[in-house]
Amino acid sequence: MGERENAVPAVEEMTSVTTYADVAAVLNSLAVRQALHHDRALKQEFGPTPSDEFLGESLLSLHGDEHFNRRRLESRLFTKPSRAQLELDVVWPALHRLLQRSQGTSTDLMVFSRLVLIRVSGAVVGLAPIEDLETADRLRSLAEDMFLANGVRYLTENQDEITRRGLESRDAFRREFYAPAVRALTVQDAPDHGGLLSLLAEKPDTVSSEVMFREAILFLIASSTTTTNALPHAIWDAERWFARHPDERAAMSEFAFCRLIATEALRLHPPVPRLLRRSTEPMTLPSGLKLRAGEFLALDLISSSQDPDVFGEDAGEFNPLRALQKGVWPFGFAFGGGAHMCIGRTLVLGDGGTREDETEPQGLFPRFLRELYKAGMRLDAERSPTRREGTEKNEYVEFPVAFGTAA
Ligand code: HEM
């Protein structure tokens, strides 16, 4: 295969956008398009990208009206009743069962939370309900392989091996989970699992069958790994903060406080170090940085979410009680921003009008934190957490915790 004249520059060679105001301006601009996942225009110019195999023509790679229309349709998955169903009927019982079983034991929080949260992913996509640990673990491991392979550009080693495994897992996901769920949609009187597949099947003109498959992959990987990866960061940072503010620990019984912990941890530990974009017109950013048309941009989510002009001189530190300027996202750009801002944000954190009532959806992240602390979770004194190596992403591989009555 001949080399293309045009090539997308390596991430390190892209123009780095680092301040809060500049990143906000880029994300909110209509003259900027996705660049990690190529839309049609980028594909024509630069050819395919590794993530096309997983997310090509999915919501994340669309632009303009096409994106707006599909997003409007899929937002229905996140209405308050839908979020209540996912949080209260899918997550809460599974979380309780696992917490009961874990009393008095030490466990890896990564495995624990994945096993619960993968059920949400299955339900959002519209797969058959996941009843047993084995199935939950199988789907979790397929989702994780695809997640890693999709972000192969962030990896610093083993890229070929990870891509190969990701593709194998994609095919296994299709065979074992996706195809049976799609088949069920066509069988009269078969149970309708709802979710994305049911929504798209009602509007057959929206997407082709292959795009529907990749949309399912997007929702699966975007929902399953992100919250699981964010949880240990929140607990680690909160524990260090409680060591200096012991009186605040009791507030973990309140959803509102758990939400502050979750939000502050997301600000400091976004799921990816950068979002990639490409400008389609010349523009000048608030800092005075001038962009040419066609320039590739690496939006630095870490520095922009720790911008001292916005979050104060202690922006790099964990402080869930930090005072915020009006109009600033408390989680920085952990959920992105603008048209592609995470569609699952309110499922993760709840919405602004949430009351302190456990029978209402509070957000998966605050709910998880509250229930873990209520069950007396503490860091395992015998085993230290380990982090993933060979990636720029800041992720835990293992996060040992112990359950029992809190000391
Ligand atoms: C802590 C949890 C989560 C974090 C930190 C997170 C982060 C993000 C970020 C940064 C983006 C923007 C990507 C870009 O602009 O290039 C995004 C988009 C998206 N997220 Fe999330 N996410 C989380 C949970 C979820 C959940 C639970 C779901 C679904 C149930 C979900 C579904 C999506 C989808 C479908 C998009 C694409 C939206 C679009 O392109 O319009 N995410 N997420």
Q: How do the pLDDT tens digits run along the chain, 407 residues long?
A: 344 446 778 888 999 999 999 999 999 999 999 887 666 677 778 777 778 889 989 999 899 999 999 999 999 999 999 999 999 999 999 999 999 999 999 999 998 998 899 999 999 999 999 888 889 889 988 998 998 888 777 666 788 899 999 999 999 999 999 999 999 888 777 677 789 999 999 888 888 999 999 999 999 999 978 899 999 999 999 999 999 999 999 999 999 999 999 999 999 999 989 999 999 999 999 999 999 999 999 999 999 999 999 999 999 999 999 999 999 999 999 999 999 999 999 999 999 777 889 999 999 999 999 999 999 999 999 999 998 876 666 789 899 999 985 44
Q: How far apart are CA 169 and CA 221, in angstroms?
A: 12
| pLDDT at res. 406 | 45
- Ligand 1: centre distance to CA 218 (Å): 9
Q: What is the model's pLDDT at position 243?
A: 97
User: Looking at ligand 1, which residue's alpha carbon is closest to its atom 11?
Assistant: 342
Cβ neighbour number for residue 355 with a 10 Å cutoff? 10
Nearest CA-CA partner of 404 in 388, 387, 380: 380
The Å distance, Cα 350 to ligand 1 centre, comes to 14
Q: Closest ligand 1 atom to the C-alpha of 60?
A: 40
Integer Cα distance of 115 and 377 in angstroms: 17
Contact at 8 Å (CB) between 366 and 350? yes
Find out whether the beta carbon of 226 lies less than 6 Å from any atom of ligand 1: yes
Q: Are 375 and 103 spatial neighbours (Cβ–Cβ below 8 Å)?
A: yes
CA of 63 from ligand 1 middle (Å) equals: 16
Query: Is the Cβ atom of 225 under 6 angstroms away from ligand 1?
Result: no
pLDDT at 216: 97
Answer whether 62 contacts ligand 1 (Cβ < 6 A): no
Q: Is the CB of 58 under 6 A from ligand 1?
A: no
Q: Which atom of ligand 1 is nearest to the CA of 276?
A: 16
